[in-house]
Amino acid sequence: MLKKIVSVAVLVMVLPLVAACPAPAETPAEAKIGVVVSILPLADFVGNIGGERVDVTVMVPPGASPHTFAPTPGQMRAVSGAKLFVKVGSGLGFERAWMDRIIEQNRDMLIVDSSHGIELMEMVAHCPHEENDHEGEEHEREHHHHGGMDPHIWLSLPNARIMVQNIRDGLIEIDPEHADYYTTNTERYLQELDALDQYIRERLDGFLNRYFLIYHPSLGYFARDYNLRQLAIEHEGKEPTPKVIMEAIDLAVKHNLSYVFVSPQHPVRHAETIARSINAQTASIDELPRYFIPSMRNVADLLAREME
């Protein structure tokens, strides 16, 4: 009985000591770097380079037009806490309208111009009515310029490589301790882009008919890279006239086209009208893909199906 009393007494004395010893503190998770980007493809680039070290906010949401979108108060709050903002830098309507206010919102964050080192080209499309007017002229005269530089630089594999490297440099500038991490991720992703470029070239090689009809002229750089001919229905954001629509129909028949390409960011009514008139289909090409590589493979597959 005495032994039991002693044991209980010892236990009572020990318990307060145990309770007084704090549990080993867990190492706090390292704060992620707040990165804001203009459009979804840039979010994919940043995610592939920055990996687990970045927290990315996208300004222009899925389905919205990068030419007309206005940011929400919540998005502007995200800008206030960001360390890095990645802009396209090619004259996108959203950035022309909002970059000054975005910079004013957070003057401490680094601004990365992902277009640095990219040579912009003029907005070029084979306009239906001009194509007919110049039939038979040399190829160089078939190109027509439509109001300023083409902002859709990300829909080009050579351009995407440059944009990725610009983003890598920006992340290293604000987080030099992890430069090796960003460099390794970049090299891996560039290899994936090279493999994608090879896939697209093989997929589109050998077709005699290089034309495709699209509502909004977003694939100018892509067409340049792979020797294609973009026929655009809409120009400079203007709704096509009945005359342009009729001429687009004639041109689609002339080139034996089976698809009219549309995108989630633009209206499809006129494209559907043309498709019905030529017994064709509409097919969606997302000019602002969240996942860049699979989306661009899909673009190549769709265009190859058109040219077959």
Q: What CATH number does residue 162 fall under?
A: 3.40.50.1980
**Residues 242, 181 within the same domain:** no
Residue 23 half-sphere exposure, CB side, CA atoms within 13 Å?
2
**Residues 55, 132 within the same domain:** no
Angle made by CA atoms 236, 274, 93, in degrees to the nearest 5: 20
Q: Is residue 214 part of a domain?
A: yes
Q: Is residue 24 part of a domain?
A: no
**Residues 49, 145 within the same domain:** no
pLDDT at 141 over 50: no
**Residues 79, 129 within the same domain:** no
- The pLDDT of residue 147: 52
Residue that terminates a domain, selected from 193, 220, 245: 193
Q: Is residue 228 part of a domain?
A: yes
Q: How far is it, in rounded angstroms, from Cα 58 to Cα 44?
A: 10
Residue that terminates a domain, selected from 140, 169, 193: 193
**Residues 110, 171 within the same domain:** yes
CB contact set of 34 (below 8 Å; sequence gap of 6+):
54, 55, 57, 78, 81, 82, 83, 84
pLDDT at 16 over 80: no
The structure tokens listed for 236 are 């400079």
Q: How far is it, in rounded angstroms, from Cα 196 to Cα 26?
A: 42
CB contact set of 292 (below 8 Å; sequence gap of 6+):
41, 44, 45, 154, 160
The structure tokens listed for 124 are 């070029």
| Domain with 243 in it | 122-149+207-307
**Residues 41, 185 within the same domain:** yes
**Residues 293, 243 within the same domain:** yes
The band of 4, judged by pLDDT with boundaries at 50, 70 and 90, is: very low
**Residues 72, 220 within the same domain:** no
Burial class (CB in 10 A: 0-12, 13-18, 19+), 107: exposed
Q: How many domains does the chain have?
A: 2
**Residues 222, 284 within the same domain:** yes
Q: Is residue 81 part of a domain?
A: yes
**Residues 169, 273 within the same domain:** no
- The pLDDT of residue 140: 34
Residue that terminates a domain, selected from 133, 166, 193: 193
Question: Pick the residue with more confidence: 203 or 25?
Answer: 203
Instruction: Find which of 57-66, 142-151, 186-195 is predicted with most confidence, using mean pLDDT.
Output: 186-195
**Residues 217, 275 within the same domain:** yes
- The pLDDT of residue 63: 86
Which residue in the block uniquely carries the two structure tokens 């084979």? Answer: 126
Q: Is residue 5 part of a domain?
A: no
Mean pLDDT of the chain: 86
Q: Is residue 276 part of a domain?
A: yes
pLDDT at 261 over 90: yes
Q: Is residue 198 part of a domain?
A: no
Q: Is residue 42 part of a domain?
A: yes
The band of 125, judged by pLDDT with boundaries at 50, 70 and 90, is: low
What is this structure's pTM?
Answer: 0.84
**Residues 100, 179 within the same domain:** yes
β-pair type (281-284, 259-262): parallel
